[in-house]
Amino acid sequence: MIERSPHCQATPSLPPQRADDALGRPGGDIRLLQVSAEIYPLLKTGGLADIAGALPAALATAGCDTRVLLPGLPAIRDGLRDAQAVGQFSLPWGEPVRVLRGKLPAVPGAAGSPVLAYLLDAPGLYDRPGNPYEDAQRRPYADNHRRFAALGWGAAHVARGLDPSWAPQLVHGHDWHAGLAAACLKFTAGPPVPVVFTVHNLAYQGIFSADVLGELGLPVSAFQIDGLEFHGQISFMKAGLFYASKITTVSPTYAREIQTPEQGFGLDGLLRSRRNDLSGILNAVDTTIWNPATDPLIARTYSVEQMTGKARCKAALQTEAGLQPHKDAPLFTVVSRLTEQKGLNLVLAGIDDLVQGGGQLLVLGSGDHALETAFGHAAQRHPGAVALRVGYDEAYAHRIFAGSDVTLVPSRFEPCGLTQLYGLLYGSLPLVRAVGGLADTVVDADLATLDDHTATGIVFASFSEADYRHAVRRALALYRQPRAWARVRQTGMQQNFSWAQAARHYRAVYAAALPDLSRIPT
Ligand code: ADP
Ligand code: GLC
């Protein structure tokens, strides 16, 4: 069965205002501004939004007074509540920006008060429907350098006191979209404000022609190897990596991988030179949203103690997806952006084996047309056993994790990955490649780990069809041993990916960044 649903969907709490510890040392409060292009529940194209949405509340419990800065994209602007103008500034090319302050909508079940957000109201830059980065033909917007330079300048203005009632001590930018913030702060007058920069995905770098340098409002001296120049072009990602005080990425293994030529996307040398400022902090899961015991979006709730609901979820999912209602057929699922990164050509290559082995496959994703078409053909070849829904559907993703037996994430590279974590917590065994955060979060079922009850999924090593297919065969074989399967599933569901630990790590990085204002040459 093949279905289509819309591409991108619009989908936490004001921490107590404890902004009076000017030192911001551990034990006191740190005022910080998170800067990201997307945020759950308002606008999401991938895991970045989940993390940006969860961090403010998590950091509040770690003693950080966190506000967020967001571009005025329609879904974000429409979702902001009680918005009021707090100031304005002009971009280097003369365009005015109003800065609004409002509240993010609370996620049902979340504790705490609403998170305060600053929004850049600049309709000329942001008032476009659909994907935040690309037009309807999936081409990056021609003015993306301006759209995201505005985010950097917005961060600098808020950090320099645009809102008379609150200013952060520190800025935390996410991915290339926020990469210019540290450069903007460095090249404007005022006391130094440290920036922590998090790499969610080094593959997307925000590279633009050197011709636009004059529009960015940065001095020509920034365009050099010790700056934002990258092979004769401008790299927003490199600006973030170079000018930030501290760099984090989203898993310990990815922090090591990006320092190698294989995974460094040309930035491994810079990352190696900054290794003392670089750390890997594993992403966590917001269990107010992702918890099968309380999830309002699934057919039946269930928990590790009471699993009957999961069978109901599986039956409901098979019906919804047009798969045969075989309760004993292992249901493999993919919830993913359809891109090269995710290794889905392996899934395509393994479909016939998977179906011959008695399995079913359901794919929810959108992106690459060739992948959409190829999965569509597979669904036609195997009616009732393979199903595809093209599109982006948050609620369906929940129903899939709840009904699924195996979550496939055979990525070429994976900075952290969240779907394998959702799979674990929903009792869907992750089948993953040992790379990035996948390697850090899934324990392969082998004789030893089955014996000592530490196994949580199936892990394969090399990015090859042969290794992937063997992993599928191992999953099918394990499924035929219900007691072993149940044991692995139970261990997976008991994993703790809560935010408390990650928030403590971020806080330690912030504390280390605050006194560190000397590294950047003037
Ligand atoms: P990435 O950020 O590289 O896309 P992650 O695994 O970190 O990968 O996060 C992906 C997030 O996006 C998860 O919350 C996943 O459920 C969600 N997601 C991906 N594709 C879809 C889709 N087609 N429909 C609904 N949710 C999706
Ligand atoms: C990126 C990565 C993904 C990670 C997510 C959130 O999109 O591709 O691996 O989980 O960011 O950090």
**pLDDT for residue 106:** 84
Nearest atom, ligand 2, residue 411 CA: 9
Question: How much distance in Å is there from the Cα of 327 to the middle of ligand 2?
Answer: 33
Question: How much distance in Å is there from the Cα of 198 to the middle of ligand 1?
Answer: 18
Q: What percent of the chain has pLDDT over 90?
A: 90
Residue 317 lies in a domain: yes
If asked whether residues 272 and 366 sit together in one domain, one would say no
Q: Given a cut of 70, is residue 180 above it in pLDDT? A: yes
Question: How much distance in Å is there from the Cα of 202 to the middle of ligand 2?
Answer: 10
If asked whether residues 339 and 352 sit together in one domain, one would say yes
Atom 14 of ligand 1: nearest residue by CA position: 47
If asked whether residues 421 and 506 sit together in one domain, one would say no
Band of residue 24 on the pLDDT scale cut at 50, 70, 90:
very low
If asked whether residues 280 and 324 sit together in one domain, one would say no
Residue type at 441 in one-letter notation: T
If asked whether residues 85 and 234 sit together in one domain, one would say yes
If asked whether residues 174 and 205 sit together in one domain, one would say yes
What does the alpha-carbon distance between residue 326 and residue 30 come to, in Å, rounded to a whole number? 54
Q: Which run of H or E residues covers position 499?
A: helix 499-513
Residue 511 lies in a domain: yes
If asked whether residues 361 and 231 sit together in one domain, one would say no
List the CATH number of the domain containing 425.
Answer: 3.40.50.2000
Q: Given a cut of 80, is residue 3 above it in pLDDT? A: no
Atom 21 of ligand 1: nearest residue by CA position: 336
Q: How many structural domains are present in the chain?
A: 2
Atom 20 of ligand 1: nearest residue by CA position: 336
Which stretch of 16-20, 34-38, 51-55, 320-324 has the lowest confidence by average pLDDT? Answer: 16-20
For the question of whether the overall pTM of this predicted structure is more than 0.85, the answer is yes
Question: How much distance in Å is there from the Cα of 47 to the middle of ligand 2?
Answer: 5
Residue 16 lies in a domain: no
Band of residue 21 on the pLDDT scale cut at 50, 70, 90:
very low
In 141-184, which ranges are E strands?
A: 170-174
Q: What is the mean pLDDT of residues 197-221?
A: 98
If asked whether residues 446 and 512 sit together in one domain, one would say no
Sort strands 81-90 and 429-433 into parallel, antiparallel or unpaired. Answer: unpaired
Residue 301 lies in a domain: no
Question: How much distance in Å is there from the Cα of 312 to the middle of ligand 2?
Answer: 30
Atom 1 of ligand 2: nearest residue by CA position: 200
Q: What is the mean pLDDT of residues 60-75?
A: 96
**pLDDT for residue 20:** 36
Band of residue 305 on the pLDDT scale cut at 50, 70, 90:
very high
Q: Domain of 114?
A: 30-284+500-516
The answer to whether the peptide bond before residue 41 is cis (omega within 30 degrees of 0) is: yes
**pLDDT for residue 364:** 98
Q: What is the mean pLDDT of residues 98-114?
A: 86
Residue 298 lies in a domain: no
Contact yes or no for 280/250 (Cβ under 8 A): yes
The preferred substitution site among 177, 202, 250, 409 for testing ligand 2, maximizing ligand atoms within 8 Å of CB, is 250
In 312-414, which ranges are E strands?
A: 331-338, 360-367, 386-390, 406-409
Residue 15 lies in a domain: no
Residue 450 CB partners (closer than 8 Å, separation 6+):
484, 487, 488
If asked whether residues 223 and 135 sit together in one domain, one would say yes
Q: What is the mean pLDDT of residues 25-54?
A: 89
pLDDT higher at 335 or 5: 335
Q: What is the mean pLDDT of residues 7-32?
A: 45
Residue 13 lies in a domain: no
What does the alpha-carbon distance between residue 484 and residue 474 come to, in Å, rounded to a whole number? 12
**pLDDT for residue 2:** 58
**pLDDT for residue 90:** 98
Residue 299 lies in a domain: no
Q: What is the mean pLDDT of residues 151-165?
A: 98
**pLDDT for residue 391:** 95
Mean pLDDT of the chain: 93
Ligand 1 pocket, CB under 6 A = 46-48, 50, 335-337, 364-366, 392-394, 397, 416-419
If asked whether residues 489 and 509 sit together in one domain, one would say no
Nearest atom, ligand 2, residue 418 CA: 10
Band of residue 1 on the pLDDT scale cut at 50, 70, 90:
low
**pLDDT for residue 10:** 42
Q: Given a cut of 80, is residue 124 above it in pLDDT? A: yes
If asked whether residues 252 and 336 sit together in one domain, one would say no
If asked whether residues 475 and 330 sit together in one domain, one would say yes
**pLDDT for residue 266:** 98
Q: Which run of H or E residues covers position 315?
A: helix 308-321
Atom 11 of ligand 2: nearest residue by CA position: 200
